[in-house]
Every structure is written in C-alpha cells, then in structure tokens.
C-alpha cells in the first residue's frame, strides 16, 4: 500500500490553523505510479462517481479526456453510484495538473464584514427558516444567520464580476448590490459556519444537492439532501451562478492538493 507523502500527519498545522486534509478517505494521483499527488476528499453521503469526475475538472486541468481508476481495481464509471474510499489515479493519453486557481477564503480579509439590516430582514422574511436543515424559525431569529453566499469582504471583486447577476437591488442603495437578498440565505448558526468556511456547499448542477466536505458535519445530517422546492421556486433566491461559484470555491478549498488551511480564530 503506497504512503501519502503529501498528506499532513497532524490536524493542527499551527495553533488555531488546521488542515482540511485530515479525515480524507479518497486520495487522487496523476497516474498509476502514484508519484504526483493531485488532491482528495472526505467522502460524504451522496457524493457519487459522477460528482468526483465533475469536481476533478474544477481543481485540475486536463489536455485530453480522462478516466479514473481505483488503485488495484477497475476503472470508475461516471455514474451515480456512491463513491467509495480508496486511492484513485487518472488514466489519460494527455497531461493533468493542478489548477492555479485560488479560492476566495473568508479568512483573508482583516475583519469579517457584517450584512446590513435590510439584507438580514429581507433574507429572514423570504426563507423563514434554515435553507439547509429545513429548521423553521418558529420562535424568533436568535439561532439564525442571514448568510452571504459571496463574501461581503470582497465587494470590489463582486462589483467587477458579479454585480450584474443581481436583478433585485438591496433596500438601501448605499448597501451596494452585494447586500441584495439574492446574495443571501438563512441558516442556523452551525450551518452558517460550515457554509462560510466551505465545509458545506450546494451543487446546483446536481439537483441542488447539499455537499459536505468535512466529517464535522455528520451530526447535522446534511449530506446528500436537496434544497426544498419552495425555496428553489422563489424568484428572489440566489441565482444558480452564485450557488455554482460557492460550490467551486468549496471544491478548490477542500480538494485541491492538501486543501486550504482552516483558521478557527476567524470566528472567535
């Protein structure tokens, strides 16, 4: 059995900084020699073979078509079978490399930026409960967070590339289009932190499946669920392009190489 030389051996890299590769049970290499490590993931419920193929195309660049093979096993079909733990390698006549694309991490701005009150109120009134868990807000809003899909700390980047997606302006024009309710979803506190750190995301190209990237999410039973049709039918919900962007960030953050570091002091 080959060793995972590129994998961290400890959860804590430095005080308050943790490796996202801890707990991975799928490891991916560029060829059957297992010399070039590409990345990996913790396999949550609902992650299929086809999902892995699609996510590979997010954090890797290919010069030709490719297949995946389980080390010591068969080629993996691009189907909806549950992905199995193991060591995978790429089979291709071309080349494969890890992309240079870097995710926009919420840990990078010097301070978190809080949503405006009009944003918070509009998201609350639209969703009336947690979009991921389905928990209704029957007894007030204390446990719920109006969560931005695209991080508020990157408003300049938003204005350059994403503001055109917003067809419903924020209640206060001074808040900028990034504070439109179409850039937000209502989440319970735990789901908010998972979503903000890319431990959980939504794949709009797989029937709006909730995809988990961390074993810490197990107790909340989110993995493999799908968003409620009522939410999806609401014209004021976040557009698919934003959900797709968030999912892409989650894949880059958690699957590329050893993964991006997790800074837990960001939320202290």
DSSP letters spanning 194-216: HHHTTSEEEETTTTSEEEE--GG
Which contiguous run of DSSP H or E holds residue 63? none
**pLDDT tens, the chain, 268 aa long:** 444 444 433 344 444 567 888 889 999 999 999 999 999 999 999 999 999 999 999 999 999 999 999 999 999 999 999 999 999 999 999 999 999 999 988 654 445 567 889 999 999 999 999 999 999 999 999 999 999 999 998 999 999 999 898 888 777 666 789 999 999 999 999 999 999 999 999 999 999 999 999 999 999 999 999 999 999 999 999 999 999 999 999 999 999 999 998 766 444 3
Strand 60-62 vs strand 66-70: parallel, antiparallel, or unpaired?
A: unpaired
Instruction: Find, among 63, 65, 89, 64, the residue nearest to 76 by Cα.
Output: 89
Domains along the sequence of the chain with CATH: 12-98 (3.10.20), 117-250 (no CATH)
| DSSP β-bridge partners for residue 147 | 185
């Amino acid at each position: 059995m080959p060793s995972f030389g590129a994998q961290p051996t400890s959860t804590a890299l430095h005080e308050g900084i943790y490796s996202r590769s801890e707990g991975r049970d799928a490891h991916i290499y560029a060829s059957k020699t297992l010399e070039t490590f590409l990345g990996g993931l913790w396999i949550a419920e609902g992650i299929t073979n086809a999902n892995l193929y699609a996510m590979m195309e997010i954090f890797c660049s290919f010069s030709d078509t490719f297949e995946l093979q389980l080390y010591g096993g068969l080629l993996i079909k691009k189907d909806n079978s549950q992905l199995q733990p193991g060591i995978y390698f790429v089979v291709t006549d071309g080349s494969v490399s890890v992309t240079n694309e870097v995710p926009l991490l919420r840990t990078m701005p010097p301070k978190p930026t809080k949503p405006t009150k009009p944003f918070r109120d509009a998201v609350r009134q639209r969703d009336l409960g947690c979009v991921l868990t389905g928990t209704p807000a029957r007894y007030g809003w204390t446990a719920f967070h109006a969560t931005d899909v695209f991080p508020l700390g990157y408003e300049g980047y938003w204005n350059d590339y994403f503001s055109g997606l917003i067809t419903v302006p924020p209640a206060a024009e001074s808040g900028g289009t990034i504070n439109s309710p179409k850039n937000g979803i209502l989440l319970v506190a735990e789901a908010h932190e998972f979503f903000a750190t890319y431990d959980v995301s939504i794949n709009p190209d797989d029937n709006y499946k909730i995809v988990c990237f961390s074993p810490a999410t197990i107790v909340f039973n989110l993995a493999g669920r799908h968003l409620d049709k009522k939410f999806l039918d609401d014209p004021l919900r976040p557009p698919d392009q934003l959900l797709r962007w968030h999912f892409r960030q989650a894949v880059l953050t958690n699957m590329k190489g050893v993964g991006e570091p997790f800074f837990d002091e960001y939320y202290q």
